[in-house]
């Protein structure tokens, strides 16, 4: 069966520091991969999605970036974090025509 792993679960980083959140999927190949940010009252904001290696669509211009170095690995990065980057980040995967399956999320606090 397919599983999705997302880490770390929580992260506290100072303003201006870099960020790397990792997400991996097991048990499937060529999944669609997604990064969302969940904020109270604002729902789930789609940040990036990828339909294949090096095929990444960015939905919101900001200081975050995403990379997909391997078929089942999706990384969310930043070179310099801002206070406004604090939030709950969710990774998800789907196969074509199947619903999204979410990871447990990462709570990021930028201090």
The residue among 34 and 85 lying less far from another protein, judged by its C-beta, is 34
Residue 71, token pair as written in the block? 């078929």
The span from the CA of 94 to the CA of 30, in Å, is: 9
Stretch that binds another protein, among 21-29, 46-54, 62-70, 73-81 (CB under 8 A): 46-54
Q: Is 90 in the site for another protein (CB under 8 A)?
A: yes
| DSSP-assigned letters across all residues of the chain | --EEEEE-SEEEE-TT--EEEEEEEES-SS-EEEEEEEETTTEEEEEEEEEETTEEEE-S-SSEEEEEEETTEEEEEESS--GGG-EEEEEEEE-TTS--EE---EEEEE-
Among 49, 74, 89, 93, the residue binding another protein under the rule CB under 8 A is: 49
- Counting residues that bind another protein (by CB under 8 A) gives 22
Footprint on residues 26-45 left by another protein (CB under 8 A): 32, 34, 36, 41-44
The residue among 2 and 17 lying less far from another protein, judged by its C-beta, is 2
**What residue ranges bind another protein (CB under 8 A)?**
32, 34, 36, 41-44, 46, 49, 51, 57, 90, 92, 94, 96, 99-105
């Amino acid at each position: 069966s397919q599983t999705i792993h997302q880490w770390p679960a929580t992260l506290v980083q100072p303003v201006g520091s870099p960020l790397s959140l990792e997400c991996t999927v097991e048990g499937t190949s060529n999944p669609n991969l997604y990064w969302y940010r969940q904020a109270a009252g604002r729902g789930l904001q789609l940040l990036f999605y990828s339909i294949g290696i090096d095929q990444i669509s960015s939905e919101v211009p900001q200081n975050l970036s995403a990379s997909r170095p391997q078929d089942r690995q999706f990384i969310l990065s930043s070179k310099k974090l801002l206070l406004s980057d604090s939030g709950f980040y969710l990774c998800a995967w789907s196969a074509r025509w199947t619903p999204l399956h979410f990871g447990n999320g990462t709570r990021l606090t930028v201090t």
